[in-house]
Amino acid sequence: MRDADGDGLDGGFTSAVLEALFTSAPLGLYVLDGDLRVLRYNTAARGLRGLPVEEVLGRRLDELVEGFRTTELAALAREVLATGRPLRGYPLRGRLPDAPEREAAVSVSVFRLEGLAADRHGLAVAVEDVTEQEAARDRLDVLHEAHRLIGTTLDAVTTAEQLAEVVVPALADAAVVHVLDELLRGERRRPGPVAADRPLRRAAVRTAGPGWSLAGDALETLPFATPFSRALEDGQARLMARLGDDGARAALGAERADRLAAAGVHSLMTLPLTTADAVQGVLTLYRAARPEAFTGDDLDLAEQVASRGALSIDNACSYLRERTTATALQRHLVPSRTPELSAVETAHLYLPATAGGDWFDVIPLSGARAALVVGDVFGHGLEAAAAMGQLRTAVRSLAVLDLPPDELLARLDETAARLDGTTARPDPADRSTVPAIATCTYAVYDPVTRQLTAARAGHPEPLLVSPDGTVSRLDLPPGAALGAPPGQREDPYEALTIELAEGTVVGLYTDGLVSGDENAPAALRRILAQPDRPLPDLVDAVAYALASDRAEDDAVLLLARTRGLPDDRTASWTLPHDPAVVATARELVRHQLAAWELTGPAFETELIVSELVTNAIRYSEGPVRLRLVRDRRLICEVSDSSSTSPHLRHARATDEGGRGLFLVRQLSERWGTRYGTRGKTVWTELALPED
């Protein structure tokens, strides 16, 4: 050994240094012989203070410290003895003889001592106490695990289970997570602490071993005036290090304290799950198997983990609340039942998954026709549901105008482009403001001509099931999605008209019905290829085959079986452009109603026909077409070549005319005008007497 000047130190100084190392240095130091027996040791080292010399010298290290896992260390020490390569910083955990209730962590370094005795070598073992450093590292590991695991889902119960998984067994032997039941039902949370009588759901229970009888998913109230309820009431954590203390028994109650003692619990903590202004529930941690009591450091760590869990549970409950609200809004906006019409028999399937913007509708139109609508707003949540409600209302408003399907979609596209840009985004990563985007199919079926006219805006093609069971797609031009940016618009919407055999089933659906399963389209076609099966049964079969609790999108299916009005339920005439034919028109109507045995509405119908035919002859050129349709109501239609819409006005007392359309409105249940490629048709509907 040399000093700073390079001179050798005298033997006395060297002896003093060695004596200090083996008597007062805080570092554990051992000298072992070739059999790994202790020849000399540091009596000041932690864990050996106060032990008699005869209990240490001559014993193997693994015999001396039985609380440490030293089997592998002994093998490594023999390898150092044989090779001379030192072992540095080998970690060990265990319990020291002078503190068996606390786990300690040490770092062990082993190096060979040359020529310790004759031709044999020995070992020097340095043991550093790193308990505090390892404890700090363990706390960081727990916090890292909390940030990695908690909050990866928007399900509150799963989040509670993740919270329990983080703390057991890393911090506690058992954990119970209670969450306010009202939050798990999608209700709005109230600010401030929680009264003791508020019901909580035992959302998660996790234990490190057997002997615990608690089960999850139980509704209960926490016992009054205990650390559990007090943590809820004031939002402050409680630490009960030793449950055997009189104070702990008084806080828990003797009976409850005895039950916990019987389960081996000796220490517990209760931590409120709080966000900035509200308490979500409470986390309770127990120790039973490990002898260490909870400490203040444990409480600090648990509070940080509980804070992370509370924030994630709050996010999950907020999502549930929004989804519940959106689902309620969506269900309110989507029709619960479809109207009974002569044109079609309908049945529908609605499978909500994410409170999206899927919708359907069946709208009665003039002339006994029916409109079939299915649409899908991109996105989920309240915004998508609100956009869906706006578009559905717009469709119904435009349908009243009796617009052809392609023109209706063109106007609906303009409406979608004007909606708030935050309602939906086709690309979630795109934060720019874009118009709301949806897809839609609009079809009109006429039971008199048995023709279906349809157009679509980026929506899946409808399916047609003929009376013989053949399933085919209606080859509609695709069209652009509603509200798409100008750069994504394609050609104008195009309508297709085909004649259907009576009993044909028309199937309109959203892509959520067949997405996520490559076999779904074939399964849908296979189920629908049963034309004689009642529509409700077909809808049920589709639901059983394609519904999934793992679906990521809503799904809608609308089935419509077409009907045709018998030829004897309609009558039409072409009248010349001559004022004298007004009387002829009244006579034709009178005879037709008599043939139908409808004498009740004859007078009103004659007045309506007289007024409409008179207006057609006065304001148009060419022949006039008169048609009567006996449906659920008596329909009267007068068509001419003019595109000028009749205007209803209120005549003054001195006016000689201007009261015709007012009388038409008063005598009719409904009336309106629809336009065709050549002129217009003014129609009215009159109620028929009940049989």
Which of 141-155, 432-446, 471-485, 552-566 shows the lowest per-residue confidence on average (mean pLDDT)?
432-446
Query: Which CATH number belongs to the domain containing residue 535 in this structure?
Result: 3.60.40.10
Q: What is the pLDDT of residue 659?
A: 57
Domain of 57, in residue numbers: 11-129
Same domain, 383 and 432: yes
Read off the pLDDT band of 373 (50, 70, 90).
very high
- C-alpha 537: how far from its chain's center? 29
Q: Name the DSSP letter for residue 60.
A: B
What confidence score (pLDDT) does residue 39 get? 84
Q: Considering only residues 63 and 600, tell me which one the structure prediction assigns the higher pLDDT.
A: 600
Say whether both 367 and 284 belong to one domain: no
> Hunting for tokens 């509708």 — which residue is that?
361
- Look up the pTM and report it: 0.68
Q: Let me know if residue 1 belongs to a domain.
A: no
Going by DSSP bridges, is the β-strand pair 680-687/238-240 parallel, antiparallel, or unpaired?
A: unpaired
Whole-angstrom Cα Rg for the chain: 42
Which one of 181-185, 482-486, 558-562 scores highest in mean pLDDT? 558-562
Distance between the two ends of the chain, CA-based, in angstroms?
124
Helices (H), 98-226: 131-149, 156-167, 181-184
Query: Could you tell me which of 28, 66, 67, 61 has the C-alpha nearest to residue 45?
Result: 28
Q: Which helix (H) or strand (E) holds 325?
A: helix 296-333
State whether 410 and 470 are in the same domain. Answer: yes
pLDDT of residue 352: 80
Domain membership of residue 226 (yes or no) is: yes
Residue 451's beta-bridge partner residues? Answer: 446, 499
Question: How many residues in total does the chain contain?
Answer: 691
Of the candidates 674, 412, 454, 672, the one whose C-alpha atom is nearest the C-alpha of residue 560 is 454
* Domain-ending residue, one of 535, 562, 589: 562
- Other CB atoms closer than 10 Å to residue 567's CB: what's the count? 8
- Judge if the upstream peptide bond of residue 335 is cis by omega within 30 degrees of 0: no
Confirm whether 498 is domain-assigned.
yes
Q: Which of 16-20, 23-27, 277-281, 293-297 has the highest mean pLDDT?
A: 293-297
Q: Tokens for 1, please give them.
A: 């050994």
Between CA 166 and CA 687 the distance in angstroms is 70
Which tops the pLDDT comparison, 90 or 354? 90
Region of residue 462 (left: phi > 0; alpha: psi -120 to 50; beta: else) = beta
Instruction: Residue 38: count other Cβ atoms within 10 Å of its Cβ.
Output: 19
Q: How many CB atoms lie within 10 A of CB 554?
A: 26
Mean pLDDT for 493-498 is 94
pLDDT at 651 over 50: no
120 shares its domain with 147: no
What does residue 246 show for φ and ψ, rounded to 5 degrees? -60, -40
pLDDT tens digits, 120-144: 788 888 888 887 887 888 889 899 9
Whether the predicted pLDDT of 689 surpasses 60: yes
Residue 261: pLDDT over 70? yes
Task: Report pLDDT digits (tens) over 175-226.
Answer: 999 999 888 888 877 777 777 778 899 999 998 876 666 666 788 888 888 8
* 150-172 confidence digits (pLDDT tens): 989 888 999 999 999 999 999 99
328 found inside a domain: no
Residue 472 domain-assigned (yes or no): yes
Indicate the residue among 514, 542, 562 that finishes a domain. Answer: 562
Q: Give the Cα separation of 581 and 160 in Å (integer).
A: 81
Looking at residue 253, its pLDDT comes to: 83
> Which residues, including other chains, have CB under 8 Å from residue 56's CB and lie 6 or more apart?
38, 41, 48, 64
pLDDT of residue 1 exceeding 60, the answer is no
Question: Residue 590: pLDDT band by 50, 70, 90 thresholds?
Answer: very high
Residue 532 resides in a domain: yes
Spatial distance between the Cα atoms of 615 and 582, rounded to a whole number of angstroms = 10
Reported as a pLDDT band with limits 50, 70 and 90, residue 488 is low
Give the model's pLDDT for residue 688.
87
Q: What is the largest CA-CA distance in the chain?
A: 145
Taking residue 88's Cβ as centre, other Cβ atoms within 10 Å add up to 11
Do 558 and 575 lie in one domain? The reply is no
Residue 341, SS3 per DSSP: coil
| % pLDDT > 70, the chain | 84
Domain-located, residue 2: no
Please report the pLDDT score of residue 185 as a whole number. Answer: 85
Q: Report helix, strand and coil shares of the chain as percent, to nearest 5.
A: 35, 30, 40
**Are 241 and 175 within one domain?**
yes
The pLDDT, as a whole number, for residue 647 is 58
Residues 183 and 238 in one domain: yes
Q: Which DSSP letter does residue 491 get? A: S
pLDDT above 70 (res 528) = yes
Q: What is the reported pLDDT for 66?
A: 61
Is the separation of the CB atoms in 436 and 416 below 8 Å?
A: yes
Q: What is the CATH number of the domain that holds 279?
A: 3.30.450.40
pLDDT the model gives residue 654: 43
How many angstroms separate the CA atoms of 460 and 683, rounded?
33
* CATH number (domain holding residue 119): 3.30.450.20
Average the pLDDT over each of 271-285, 348-362, 439-453, 651-665 and give the range with the smallest value: 651-665
CB 366 within 8 A of CB 683: yes
**Between residues 347 and 32, which one has the greater pLDDT?**
347
pLDDT at 517 over 50: yes
- DSSP assignment of 242-253 equals -TTSHHHHHHH-
The answer to whether residues 288 and 176 touch, using CB atoms and an 8 Å cutoff, is no
- Helix H or strand E segment including 441: strand 438-446
* Residues 538 and 559 sit within 8 Å (Cβ to Cβ): yes
How far apart, in whole angstroms, are the C-alpha atoms of residue 208 and residue 287?
A: 10
Residues 638 and 681 sit within 8 Å (Cβ to Cβ):
yes
Give the number of other CB atoms < 10 A from CB of residue 50.
Answer: 8
Residue in the structure block whose two tokens are 């000093």 = 3
Rounded to the nearest integer, the mean pLDDT of the chain is 83
Q: Are residues 590 and 498 in the same domain?
A: no
Q: What is the average per-residue pLDDT within 465-485? A: 91
Whether 674 shows a pLDDT value over 50: the answer reads yes
Alpha carbon distance 446, 500 (integer Å): 10
Structure tokens at 299: 């409480």
Residues 401 and 300 in one domain: no
Give 441 or 676, the one with higher predicted confidence: 441
Distance CA 690, CA 192 (A): 62
Rounded Cα–Cα distance for residues 351 and 358 (Å): 9
Q: Count the domains in the chain.
A: 4
Give, for 39, the enclosing helix (H) or strand (E). Answer: strand 38-41
Whether 290 and 265 have beta carbons less than 8 Å apart is answered as: no
Domain C-terminal end among 99, 129, 159: 129
When pLDDT is averaged across residues 484-494 and rounded to a whole number, the result is 75
pLDDT of residue 307: 93
Mean local confidence (pLDDT), 433-460: 88
CB 577 within 8 A of CB 621: yes
Does 526 score more than 80 pLDDT? yes
pLDDT at 117: 59
Q: Is residue 510 part of a domain?
A: yes
If DSSP states are collapsed to H, E and C, what string results for 638-662?
A: EEECCCCCCCCCCCCCCCCCCCHHH
- For residues 556 and 604, membership in a common domain is answered with no
Q: Residue 430 — very low, low, confident or very high, per pLDDT cuts 50/70/90?
A: very low
Same domain, yes or no: 442 and 372:
yes
Number of CB atoms found within 10 A of residue 37's CB: 16
Tell me: pLDDT of 319 over 70.
Answer: yes
Q: Tell which residue, 274, 265, 319, 251, has the closest CA to residue 179.
A: 274
What is the C-alpha to C-alpha distance for residues 146 and 340, in angstroms, rounded to an integer?
A: 56
Residue position matching structure tokens 């269900």: 331
State residue 424's pLDDT score.
45
Please tell me the distance from the alpha carbon of residue 290 to that of residue 261, in angstroms, as a whole number.
14
**Higher pLDDT pick, 555 / 431:** 555
Q: What number is the average pLDDT over the span 246-269?
A: 85
Average pLDDT over residues 232-259: 85
For 427-455, what is the mean pLDDT? 78
CB atoms within 10 A of CB 66: 11
> CA–CA separation, 87 vs 125, rounded Å?
9
- Cα separation, 512 vs 532, whole angstroms: 26
Q: Based on the domain organization, do 147 and 118 belong to the same domain?
A: no
Higher pLDDT residue, 318 or 116? Answer: 318
Tokens of 380: 């989920």
Q: How confident is the model at residue 14 (pLDDT cuts 50, 70, 90)?
A: low
